[in-house]
């Protein structure tokens, strides 16, 4: 599991200023040669576990990206090798950061097609629970989708729009879009509902829960609805928003969000499990999981 801090102090997976590094852009050297055998072993455990679960659950674009990148079970990927392949395909690169970075730094990296990835890996006792995104979440979860031109353009547009949203006081609204797409998004494909969000793709329990469990709602993605919807930061999502096609992301990348922000600025927000009469429901969840009195967070 990847636990997130409150949206008021963190933006999605990348915000926070606990320990500012020496470089203004917060990048650091990956220092790949310093990884220990144990750290490579943790990567192998995580990689093999997810690789068994994702076929038939992750979208075609994710699986192709994973296959085409220099990512395998035996060792933590080298960011330079990843960047070389990404540059050839979509013009992106992976840059190492020590952990969560401030909003403006995060947005600037995305706007310039640089994906900031934590270069550390979780400890053995953290295989299922982690407060900050590590190299497995960031690389295994996010980077395969950066091989897809649609996601590549969408994330760049998101970075470009981030500082504007901050200036307009709409960062919480934009963060919800990021959360329900890049992190916890589902897409409808010809053979069924599939995962593309990194927060799901890097979590063994949520991989199964998001597409197979009867508990969560699955609702067709609608921008203003998402902007007004809180999300779970400590557990599985109560609602997943589903794209009908990846081209929907390109449409989002070309929208002027300012009028949308203005419309939702004073509108009430929805709770994570709310279902509205106007929702295009693909599956109305039973809510069983979150109503259960004994569960203690996702494992």
List, for residues 18-54, the tens digit of each pLDDT value: 556 678 899 999 999 999 999 999 999 999 999 999 9
- Asked if residue 225 is part of any domain, the answer here is yes
- Asked if residue 289 is part of any domain, the answer here is no
- Asked if residue 265 is part of any domain, the answer here is yes
Query: Is there a contact between 83 and 94 (Cβ–Cβ < 8 Å)?
Result: yes
pLDDT for 2 equals 35
Confidence of residue 223 (pLDDT cuts 50, 70, 90): very high
Q: Taking the CA atoms of the chain, what radius of gyration do you get in angstroms?
A: 18
Largest Cα separation within the chain, whole Å, is 55
Classify 220 as helix, strand or coil.
strand
- Domain encompassing residue 142: 32-283
Report helix angle 171-178 to 149-167, nearest 10: 160
pLDDT for 126 equals 86
- Asked if residue 72 is part of any domain, the answer here is yes
- Residue owning tokens 């091989």: 147
Report helix angle 103-111 to 149-167, nearest 10: 140
The structure tokens listed for 156 are: 């760049």
Query: Is there a contact between 270 and 229 (Cβ–Cβ < 8 Å)?
Result: yes
Confidence of residue 14 (pLDDT cuts 50, 70, 90): very low
* Number of structural domains found in the chain: 1
- Asked if residue 4 is part of any domain, the answer here is no
- Asked if residue 5 is part of any domain, the answer here is no
- Asked if residue 103 is part of any domain, the answer here is yes
Nearest to 46 by CA among 117, 113, 156, 139: 139
Q: Is 137 annotated as a binding residue?
A: yes
CATH number reported for the structural domain that contains residue 181 in this entry: 1.10.800.10
- Residue owning tokens 């730094």: 105
Compute the average pLDDT of residues 135-158: 97
Please list, in sequence order, all residues whose beta carbon lies within 8 angstroms of the beta carbon of residue 67, skipping any fewer than 6 positions away.
none
- Asked if residue 275 is part of any domain, the answer here is yes
> Vertex 186, ends 268 and 96: CA angle to 5°?
95
Q: Is 290 annotated as a binding residue?
A: no
How far CA 54 is from CA of 50, 81, 156, 219, in Å, comes to: 6, 24, 26, 22
Q: Note the pTM of the prediction, 2 decimals.
A: 0.91
Q: Is 183 annotated as a binding residue?
A: yes
């Amino acid at each position: 599991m990847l636990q997130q801090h409150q949206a008021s102090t963190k933006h999605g997976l990348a915000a926070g200023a606990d320990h500012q590094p020496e470089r203004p852009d917060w990048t650091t050297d990956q220092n790949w040669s310093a990884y220990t055998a144990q750290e490579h072993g943790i990567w192998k455990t995580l990689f093999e576990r997810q690789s068994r679960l994702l076929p038939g659950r992750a979208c075609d674009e994710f699986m192709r990206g994973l296959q085409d990148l220099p990512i395998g079970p035996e060792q933590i990927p080298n960011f330079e090798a990843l960047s070389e392949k990404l540059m050839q395909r979509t013009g992106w690169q992976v840059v190492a950061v020590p952990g969560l970075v401030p909003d403006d730094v995060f947005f600037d990296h995305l706007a310039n097609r640089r994906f900031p990835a934590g270069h550390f890996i979780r400890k053995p006792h953290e295989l299922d629970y982690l407060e900050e995104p590590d190299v497995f979440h960031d690389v295994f979860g996010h980077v395969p989708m950066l091989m897809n031109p649609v996601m590549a353009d969408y994330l760049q547009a998101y970075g470009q729009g981030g500082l504007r949203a901050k200036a307009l006081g709409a960062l919480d609204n934009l963060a919800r879009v990021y959360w329900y797409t890049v992190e916890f998004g589902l897409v409808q494909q010809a053979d069924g509902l599939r995962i593309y969000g990194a927060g799901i793709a890097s979590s063994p329990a949520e991989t199964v829960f998001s597409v197979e469990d009867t508990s969560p709602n699955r609702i067709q993605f609608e921008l203003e609805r998402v902007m007004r919807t809180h999300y779970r930061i400590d557990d599985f999502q109560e609602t997943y928003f589903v794209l009908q096609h990846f081209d929907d992301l390109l449409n989002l990348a070309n929208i002027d969000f300012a009028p949308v922000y203005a419309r939702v600025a004073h509108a009430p927000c929805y709770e994570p499990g709310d279902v509205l009469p106007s929702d295009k429901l693909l599956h109305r969840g039973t809510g069983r999981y979150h109503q259960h009195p004994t569960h203690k967070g996702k494992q």
